[in-house]
Chains A and B, each alone.
Chain A
Amino acid sequence: MTHHRPRGPRRPIAALGVATASALVLAACAGGGAAEDSATEYSGEYTGPAVELSFWNGFTGGDGPFMEQMVADFNAEHENIEVVSNTQPWGDLYQRMPAALTAGEGPDVAVIHLDQMATFAARNLLTPLDGLADGVGLSADDFTDEVWTAGEFGDARYGIPLDVHSLAMYYNTDHFEQAGITEAPTDEASLMAALDALQEAGFETPFWMPNRWPAHLMNLSLQWQFGGEPYAGDGSAVEFAEEAGIRALEWQRGIVEAGYSPAEVAIDAQYLAFKNGETSITWDGIWQINDLEASGLPYAAAPIPVIGENAAVWANSHNFVIPRQSGADDNTVAAAQVFVAWMSEQSGTWAGSGMIPARQSVRDSGVLDGTAQGIVAEQIDAMRFLPPVPGIGTVQAETLEVAVSEGILGTASPEDAMTAAASDAEKLLEENRAAFGD
């Protein structure tokens, strides 16, 4: 990482070697003892000796303090369980957790995204939770179909869904007022009319188009809106270079070319510009709500407009998992189940973090009344998820995200960028299928 440091690993081979060697040592240690399936039983409470649970999550945004508070509440209620959370960026968490688990140093309980579930399950890193799901009384009819089935892999359930979170459209209410716009745009015509009105009111670049995060999430949403499907459901084919994907990227590039966005927006700049009142509209995740609240900006949230033929928006879901770990004793696993069950029951409170509770019964209980994300939650049936294919996260990062960036920056035509990326993605998926022994 460092440049020019005398003490840093000088040769790349040494740098990688250290990592790989430790990985090897870890892998060697992990050989046996990791395969007990004792976690499927769930008794409802934990009465054993005091245990400490290591809880890994990636709530580094406006949602972080909220999770900390819930963990503190849990600890206060449970005398013999002490949950210690370890919060790190999601990308780091997904990189470290497999290594830590194989070394027996991983978390006792964790939150991961729905689109990572298949990857972790295929690596045999998770404990089945069917017993827990039954014990807590979770059933398929309380969840949307995609959220529920994505927690399953093979014949077992590995995830307990906590929330769903999607992309949303944020707009600056002051700007809208000055431009005389009274309602949030809902389709392409009203969005373009709003952008023109904003420009006339003196907001020259009302809709900054990022080329990195969350540009690919916008792209996925638009693909689904145009009737496309980025990957075949079982991961056997890559389809993001077909008409819908190209139209989606062309639309994104079009926002730049029409002058609604400056060219070559740098990383995170669109969000900072929105917070500073330099741009009027931005599409970002609903997890930013608490951050925007704290900033004091006059803003409102709305579902992203329907640009294509169908309402659709990218979404993901936070799921509790209990990792499979050598050396984990029954007490730890039992206590972890109590923690997960408690959190699932408190998912209404979690709505305060800006997220949408995964359970229909909780959503209907009124916890979303008066929240900023309430209006987004009404769109829950339009929410679309990446298919549960092992290794799909890395494939996305290496291919679609690069193509979207090139297309929006204008360094390649949307069609060329998507076509090249799709052919790379095919190869990576094929390698994954071989690796995971499909």
Chain B
Amino acid sequence: MAVVAPKESASPRAAGARIAPARSERSRAARSVAGRQQAPWTPWAFMAPYLVLFGVFVLVPVVLGGWMSLHRWDYTLPNKPFVGLENYRQLFDPTSSSSQVFWGAMQATGIFTVASVPLLLVLPLLVALLMRRSFPGRNLMRAIYFAPYVLGVAVVAVLWRYLLDNNIGVVNQTLGALGLPGDVAWTTSVPAAWVALVGVTVWWTLGFNAVIYLAALQDIPGELYEAARVDGASPWQQFLNVTLPGLRPIFAFIVVITLIASANMFGQSYLMTQGGPGRETRTAIYQITETGLRGFRMGEASAMSYVLTAVLLLASAVVFALLREKKGAGR
């Protein structure tokens, strides 16, 4: 990493100083490279394939979504009247039905995010710490922890919906056989439904965060642990003073992607609880889908998307501000 870089870059310079002709050769080559860079469209040409995709799938939809949110927009009808900020006003008018439903869904999203993000930050780290050790069957165990992540949401949700069925499911039957309460309604009552949704999500996606942690752990130089041991640090102290600071750079990344993924939860509640009981586990994305794609009220749905995006941007900004590496702090 950065520590070793200066040592290597020193040697070519020394070689160039000794052999003068080679040096002038090199600088000519450098000039011609600079000449090619002068064509102003070159970088754009290289970026074009991505820019096309970015434009079609991000920029255009962002602008169109904003435009739609100012209309009563049903794409099958010729009449799409302009309504100004009416869709937004309704979302912030506590007496309107769409506002109650939307903020209920935002609250559900909040509950899920607050419950799932800490677990998805801590448990994968523990798994990664275990998987870093060398023991027989390590690769098999790594594969097992990662395996659920390979499954699609439909498979995961349908599988667990039947396992968690309160009357005919294996989970309750097993709990009952162990003398534990075997009549919890995992998909039809809260808070049990939240426990089920968070548990299933953690089981499903834990492997992804664990792999990122594992890669980051393997990047921490062994010498640092060696030095810590020489200084007489206990394993716990090593964890606090070597491992955690070493993970800091990727930590902000993991927090933000986990946060956004959790805030975008849809498939699990759509398939396992159908948003129930009532509307309790209906998340924001669920509500946006229902409104826009099934109810054909796309203007309202676009307005909801914009509000959700604003909230997520704010949350991400807070996370980055909290986890930013302060100058002079750390290593």
Interface residues of A, Cβ cutoff 8 Å to B? 1-6, 10-21, 23-24, 26-27, 91, 94-95, 98-99, 102, 123-125, 208, 211-212, 262-267, 269, 272-273, 276, 278, 391, 394, 397-398, 402, 405-406, 409, 411-412, 423-424, 427-428, 431, 434-437
Contact assessment for B75 and A3 in the assembled complex, using a CB-CB cutoff below 8 Å? no
Interface assignment of B233: CB less than 8 Å from any CB of chain A:
no
Which 6 pairs show the lowest CB-CB distances between chains A and B? A17-B61, A264-B185, A264-B188, A4-B261, A4-B205, A406-B278
Residues of chain B contacted by A124 (CB below 8 angstroms):
76
A424 touches B97 (CB 8 A): yes
Place the interface of chain B in its size category: 35 or more
Contact A3 B204 (CB under 8 A): yes
In the complex, B327 has a CB within 8 A of chain A: no
* Main secondary structure on A side of the interface with B: helix
Pairwise interchain contact A266-B97, C-beta atoms closer than 8 A = no
* Contact A427 B97, CB 8 Å, known A10-B260, A13-B306, A24-B75: yes
Closest to B97 in A: A424
> What residue of chain B has the Cβ atom nearest to residue A17's Cβ?
B61
Nearest to B310 among chain A residues (CB) is A13
Inter-chain contacts of A2 with B (CB < 8 A)? 152-153, 267
Q: CB distance B309 to A211 under 8 Å?
A: no
Q: Mark B279-305, 1 if CB is under 8 A from A, else 0.
A: 110001100101011111110011001
B185 to chain A: closest residue by CB:
A264
Q: Select which of A102, A264, A436 is within 8 A of B166 by beta carbon.
A: A264
Residue of A27, A102, A435, A437 with highest tally of chain B CB at under 10 A: A435
A-B contact pairs, 19 of them (CB 8 A): A2-B267, A3-B201, A4-B258, A12-B284, A12-B285, A13-B65, A14-B58, A14-B61, A16-B61, A16-B288, A17-B58, A20-B301, A24-B64, A98-B75, A266-B185, A267-B274, A278-B167, A424-B101, A427-B97
Interface contact A20-B205, CB-CB below 8 Å: no
User: Which residue in chain B gives the minimum CB-CB distance to A22?
Assistant: B61
Is B22 part of the contact surface with A, judged by Cβ < 8 Å?
no
**Other-chain contact of B309, A13, A266, A267, A428 (Cβ < 8 Å):** A13
Query: Any chain A CB within 8 A of the CB of B238?
Result: no
A65 to chain B, nearest CB (A): 22
- Cβ of B41 within 8 Å of any chain A Cβ, yes or no, is no
Which of A1, A102, A397: most chain B Cβ within 10 A? A1
CB pair B302 A11 closer than 8 Å:
no
Chain A residue nearest to B264 in the complex (CB): A12
Taking the closest CB of chain B, its distance from the CB of A100, in whole angstroms, is 11
Q: Which residue of B lies closest to A99 (CB)?
A: B75
**Does B61 contact A13, Cβ atoms closer than 8 Å?**
yes
Residues of A within 8 A of B267 (CB): 1-3
The verdict on B173 contacting chain A, using a C-beta distance below 8 Å, is no
For A265, the chain B residues whose CB sits under 8 A away are 166-167, 188
The answer to whether B188 touches A409 (Cβ under 8 A) is: yes
Interface-centre pick from B260, B267, B295 (highest chain A CB count, 10 A): B295
CA distance A98 to B294 in the complex (A): 11
Chain B, Cβ-Cβ closest to A97:
B76
Q: C-beta contact mask, B169-198 vs A, less than 8 Å → 1, else 0?
A: 100000000000000011111000000000
C-alpha spacing A6/B254, complex, angstroms: 12
CA distance A16 to B266 in the complex (A): 13
Nearest B residue to A123 by beta-carbon distance? Answer: B76
Residues of A within 8 Å of B252, CB to CB, are none
**A415–B79 alpha-carbon span in the complex (Å):** 37
Question: In the assembled complex, which residues on chain B have CB atoms less than 8 Å from the CB atom of A276?
Answer: 168
* Known contacts A264-B189, A273-B167, A394-B295: A11-B276 contact under CB 8 Å: no
**Does A398 lie within 8 Å of B284, measured CB to CB?**
no
User: Is there contact, CB below 8 Å, between B72 and A13?
Assistant: no
Distance to closest chain A CB from B219 (angstroms): 19
Which residues on the A side are within 8 Å of B312 (C-beta)? 11-12
- Complex alpha-carbon distance, A98 and B61, angstroms: 20
A436 touches B77 (CB 8 A): yes
Q: Does B255 contact A (CB under 8 A)?
A: no
Known: A13-B306, A263-B185, A266-B166. A20 touches B62 (CB 8 A): no
User: How far is B293's CA from A422's CA once the two chains are assembled, in angstroms?
Assistant: 22
B60 at the interface (CB under 8 A from A): yes
* Inter-chain contacts of B131 with A (CB < 8 A): none
B74, B201, B204, B285: the one contacting A15 at CB < 8 Å is: B285
A26 to B74, CA, bound (A): 12
Q: Which of A269, A405, A411, A435 contacts B167 (CB 8 A)?
A: A269
